[in-house]
Amino acid sequence: MPNTSRFSLEGRVALVTGASRGIGSATAEALAEQGAQVVLSSRKQADLDDEAARINTRFPDRAVGIAAHAGRPEDLEKLVDEVIKRGGIDTTKLGVTGGSGGGVLTNWTITQTDRFAAAVSQRSISDWSAFWYTADFTLFQPTWFRKAPWEDPQDFAARSPITHVAKVTTPLMLINGDADYRTPPANGGEMMFRALKYRKIPTVMVRFPGETHELSRSGAPRHRIERLQHIIGWMDKWLLGRSELYADAK
């Protein structure tokens, strides 16, 4: 894997969705190390403050954590606007990434806005109906959806990113673990990948053999390093226009 540390994301904003205590930290820290202004977002402000403080200890003034409702991309855009007001940010060079719930939100966000120049969706969901049938996690059923997919297919479709994929213009990287049964790749990354390839929107899919939903936290060390290198490489490509790893991506 190439060394991406010689590239600088100075003046770029990377929005890390679904970040909380220990979640999204490695991604945020890697992006901050490249010079990006990192905006951490989740519901718990106390956790975000802790994570931002830890990152800023190593990379001063590179991270800010602002709580937002996890299901409303418009709230996330307000966070980015708030950081832009501070100055020094190129508003044409904004990136967004997230994993699990943050991956879902990344997929959804790029179907609702074209303001992000690059996106990385990790262990995500694109079709809620397919997820309902195949995921190993069923605790969501009483609270996330009022009915089963066959009882209210319109509700599941309306809230699924794949339904709105025709509106996506943002170059998208999808990161999946082959053994992820929490957000099965077939119902998330693979759907977005195939649809965007069909539409000729720049997209790549990175699959890690043997890795589960815990790839970023307890995956094989070499895979965790490679994951970060792929994310930085994709941001380099679409925010800076140069990348050893994705020089020919399209």
Q: What residue has token string 């890697």?
A: 30
Could you tell me whether strands 94-99 and 13-17 are parallel, antiparallel, or unpaired per DSSP bridges?
A: parallel
Secondary structure of residue 23 in the 3-state scheme: strand
d(CA 39, CA 227): 20
Which position among 100, 121, 124, 126 bears the catalytic label? 100
Place of tokens 């890390």: 16
Assigned token pair, 51: 């994570």
* Strand ranges, E, within the chain: 13-17, 37-42, 63-67, 94-99, 118-122, 172-177, 203-208
Token digits for 249?
Answer: 């991506």
Q: Is 100 a catalytic residue?
A: yes
Is 213 annotated in the active site?
yes
- The one catalytic residue in 41, 160, 213, 243 is 213
CA 238 from centre of chain: 15
Instruction: Give the catalytic positions in this structure.
Output: 100, 213
